[in-house]
Structure 1
């Protein structure tokens, strides 16, 4: 029997890097809501009393960036200037350029169109950058996510909830969670360690925080989970002994610095590209969503117990350079047949991805906000949001194809 430990972390929406991700995606929402054809690459930096918005945006939308930034910061919970960072008192600097014309020409008209060998309208849009993207799914949880990141996100969301409802009034917005799961022969069997670091008021004692977090955060999130903490599980809370100075006052933040939190907690490979602040022509975002969609439908259709999908693109081209499917020895079909099945049933050109998931229209469809809501607590496996790339609408098609292959 092979036994090992695997750990994943999450962060709350008040973590400095996550503040930046959410502001970046709030800006994206604002532009797509007014002009669905907007090209957005918005990046944000935060530090004590300062927010800087930078990047490249080409859009017909009219956006009050300072107002948007302050509204999002207040929504997260930074409203008290004594904490070193507040919506009303922070400085907001905006330094934005338009998208490079060299990039725009390849996105506006893909290489396939420029060479005259395009097959249909979905060949028109070229990938906004080169790169590799991954997606993953497995049977460890009902949402087909790895258990460590699923638990870390649950803890982080619960930590934010008990702060916002006033259940634990001494909590502050910044926080991190981490869960170490014990595996035997590749299957999760126990909880080795739970770590929560949370910003708090000066008056709160560590013993009080320790007891409250166990009762109000840990126990509720494990209530409906078969694998639970036991007497051997370590529970660590604010291991430094104090976490009063937090948020941008305690550490600077930057868009795109929590890409592992955004995805699979390190359980699957990552191509390196961040999601937040990028419009759907950026395949870092849209193709990563597509890879998750493919992997999840494959696992849900019982073609494999675990599945990782990789695609790659060249900037300015519509069709992927390569597609790779890995099932880690759990596949029900030969690798070449599974790959052929994916190519037959899933669209991977940028224009096709935008159409399949309605990636340009989601903010308008959902009251002016969408991407900012996935910018914290993970882009995958969300049970609190109806995400188009989480849908299992290809399962029946895949199962029909299996019947053909196996007979």
Structure 2
């Protein structure tokens, strides 16, 4: 790895159309898992102007069994979808939680997939799909997340908190952030560029067009710059930092009315901001038998514990699976030249500490619970473990890892 360089990551807010779709999909996952901890869900969402469409494959006791919906189940799904959009804050002519058209095209899970995934007789539960998954951790931040992504998320979380609490009058739900940091000796030391584009109330722009108001735009800009200073470490923002706030000018039309949203289109925002490889599979809308989700969570869990144990400053872990097969096909560890022990030793130790079958992962991380909607905005990683939520962010393997490699 180069010692000195620039690196950039972005984030998007809970009101971004793709994130609206992710949160709706995970609201459906949580609803089903609240009814049946072993439900099967693969829920995709499309959002656009005054329309939300669900599609995918499901199986859930008391909701959808033997090819039929339980009484009231479809109405309950629609209520969960509308509640999600209401919580985000969309009450606009082009996208309103109460009046958008809703289509539910969910249907039964393929029996051919079910026979490979389900546990039966002497057969362990198989992986819900083939694929590769990556986990990553770095000591750049206290939560062991890449700094560029960490600060991108925190900027938008602050905007969202202030919007919900009506701290300022001009913020609307859709927003994006981007952070570029200068690294010296592999350590982030300053911000060279900071970008926020936020949907705003009418008039808070300055492009010289009709309705333009320089004073209102300056109020918005000063607020965002204040958030930058609040979120980034002291000294990171200098006179040389390039700051862009709504660089296109007016941003009044946003969210699904401004751009269609789809589940699973923000996988780099969801994970490591480009600092690590990505296997390609999205997380939201999937129950934990889908290793795209659960194996990515356990890979992060293992990588974070390796770094937290002081065995490396950076760690990447890859897992691979085949549909219907319980055990992973491979486990690969890369410590990027920062390790205090060999990669081979960690590859030997980790499967002894965590059973890496789909069932083993689910049980170890307690994934059969309605915990997923809160993961669908501001990153699946770098979050604080709370009760059953974000268990993959715990560092409870540290002592066992240290003992095993001693």
TM over 0.5: yes
2:315 is aligned to: 307
> 1:31·1:61 contact (CA, 8 Å) conserved in 2?
no
| Unaligned 5+ runs, structure 2 | 64-72, 205-215
2: distance between equivalents of 1:258 and 1:195?
Answer: 18
Q: Does 1:250 align with 2:288?
A: no
Q: Does 1:93 align with 2:106?
A: no
Supply the RMSD in Å over aligned alpha carbons: 1.5
- Following TM superposition, the consecutive aligned residue runs of length 4 or more in structure 1 with deviations greater than 4 angstroms are none
1:34 is aligned to: 35
Q: Does 1:75 align with 2:83?
A: no
1:209 is aligned to: 220
| Unaligned 5+ runs, structure 1 | 115-123, 364-369
Q: Does 1:200 align with 2:200?
A: yes
1:120 is aligned to: none
1: distance between equivalents of 2:133 and 2:306?
Answer: 17
Question: Which TM-score applies when normalising by structure 2?
Answer: 0.91
> 2:128·2:323 contact (CA, 8 Å) conserved in 1?
yes
> 2:23·2:284 contact (CA, 8 Å) conserved in 1?
yes
1: distance between equivalents of 2:106 and 2:235?
Answer: 48
2:293 is aligned to: 285
Deviations 1:1-28 (A, max 9, x none): 8431110011110000000000000000
Q: Does 1:334 align with 2:335?
A: no
Structure 2 CA distance for partners of 1:85 and 1:264, relative to 1, 3 Å: same
Q: Does 1:275 align with 2:283?
A: yes
Deviations 1:101-159 (A, max 9, x none): 1110000148x945xxxxxxxxx110000000000001000111110000000001001
Deviations 1:237-268 (A, max 9, x none): 11101111101110000000001110000110
2: distance between equivalents of 1:21 and 1:130?
Answer: 22
1:323 is aligned to: 331
2: distance between equivalents of 1:343 and 1:104?
Answer: 26
- Secondary structure at the counterpart of residue 318 of structure 2: strand
Q: Does 1:398 align with 2:379?
A: no
Structure 2 CA distance for partners of 1:179 and 1:61, relative to 1, 3 Å: farther
> 1:109·1:316 contact (CA, 8 Å) conserved in 2?
no
The answer to which of 333-342 and 320-329 deviates more is: 333-342
- Secondary structure at the counterpart of residue 257 of structure 1: coil
Deviations 1:178-199 (A, max 9, x none): 1001112322121111100000
1: distance between equivalents of 2:114 and 2:155?
Answer: 41
> 2:31·2:77 contact (CA, 8 Å) conserved in 1?
no
- Secondary structure at the counterpart of residue 54 of structure 2: strand
* Offset at residue 170 of structure 1 (A): 1.2
1:43 is aligned to: 44
1: distance between equivalents of 2:405 and 2:82?
Answer: 52
